Amino acid sequence: MIYKILVTGSDGQLGYELKRLLSDNKNFELFFTNHKTLDITDEQAIRDFYNKYKPNFVINAAAYTAVDKAETEKEIALKVNVNGVRNLAKYSIDYNTIMIHISTDYVFDGNKSSPYIETDTPNPLGYYGYTKFMGENEMSKINPRGVIIRTSWLYSNHGNNFVKTIIKKSLDENQKLQVVYDQIGTPTYARDLAMCIYQMIQCFDFNNLEFFHFADEGVASWYDFAHAIIRIKNIDKCIYPIETDQINQLTMRPKYSVMNKSKIKSALNISIPHWYDSLKEMLGLFM
């Protein structure tokens, strides 16, 4: 059987890795779109696409992800992260399309001291997290067959991300490198998440809408993450640990957003690499 798969947000980190991974499978007819070729906030455009191509799967990797800018660009964040999800979910119901939607650890407030499970109550601290939570709610209300996957601290060789920022700053002799040590979570290589989704498409029984958590294994602060980057790259640079209160951020981040991955590991019978090992793999490819 040939599966028709729509991947929105294909210019982003996850979309790029999905394109690289899925394109080798001859049983997939793939549609990779960005905001210019398919605007998920345009209901008519979504209706027309579903009517024309009738996809079996939609992987929604499109999102407004600028955490601080969301505080001043609320309308844009809401349109993409809420209205866009509603449009995809609505027509996924109409065309019996399985929907895989990507969400975030930032739906949580960080007040736990143990890893978050899927049934923990979200309480986002900022507008970005709020819109992602509302997007989850929209999909849950419409209730298409599919999954919502929360992930965290995504990075890859493609696009702009924390890893590339740290490398750039560490090579600037005039740049003092300060990184917060009091925000704890888990870095996630976008390629690992893409592989998880690929395995899910092939083997998971999509009967009901379910929540899953996926991140790489292990725990780190942003300081730990930055230190690992320059250590692996053999860059001679001192990193200064600072508290979140010492930097100018428009919105709060969760202090602790580690997520429990037991459910997805059991459902797919997969093992997940440690974040440090995946970072070494990514940096081995980084030019």
Length of the chain measured in residues = 287
Predicted pLDDT of residue 144: 86
Band of pLDDT at residue 286, cut at 50, 70 and 90: low
Quick one: pLDDT band at residue 6, thresholds 50, 70, 90? very high
pLDDT digits (tens, 9 = 90+) for 234-258: 999 999 999 999 988 889 999 999 9
Does residue 287 have a pLDDT over 70?
A: no
For residue 54, pLDDT over 90 is answered with yes
Whether 181 sits among the annotated catalytic residues: the reply is: no
**Residue bearing the bigger pLDDT, 203 or 187:** 187
Q: What residue ranges do the domains of the chain occupy?
A: 3-161+187-216+257-273
9-13 contacts at long range (C-beta below 8 A, 24 or more positions apart): 9/33, 9/34, 9/35, 9/60, 9/61, 9/62, 9/63, 10/34, 10/61, 11/159, 12/61, 12/62, 12/63, 12/158, 12/159, 13/154, 13/155, 13/156, 13/158, 13/159, 13/161, 13/190
Residue-wise pLDDT for 83-108, tens only, equals 999 999 999 999 999 999 999 999 99
Q: What is the CATH number of domain 3-161+187-216+257-273?
A: 3.40.50.720
Of the candidates 128, 130, 181, 256, the residue annotated as catalytic is 128
CA distances from 175 to 53, 65, 162, 169, 233 (A): 50, 26, 16, 6, 17
pTM: predicted TM-score of the whole model, two decimal places: 0.96
Mean pLDDT of 163-187: 94
Sorted by sequence, the CB contacts under 8 Å of residue 83 that are 6+ apart come out as 41
pLDDT for 175? 84
Amino acid 248: pLDDT: 84
- pLDDT above 60 for 40: yes
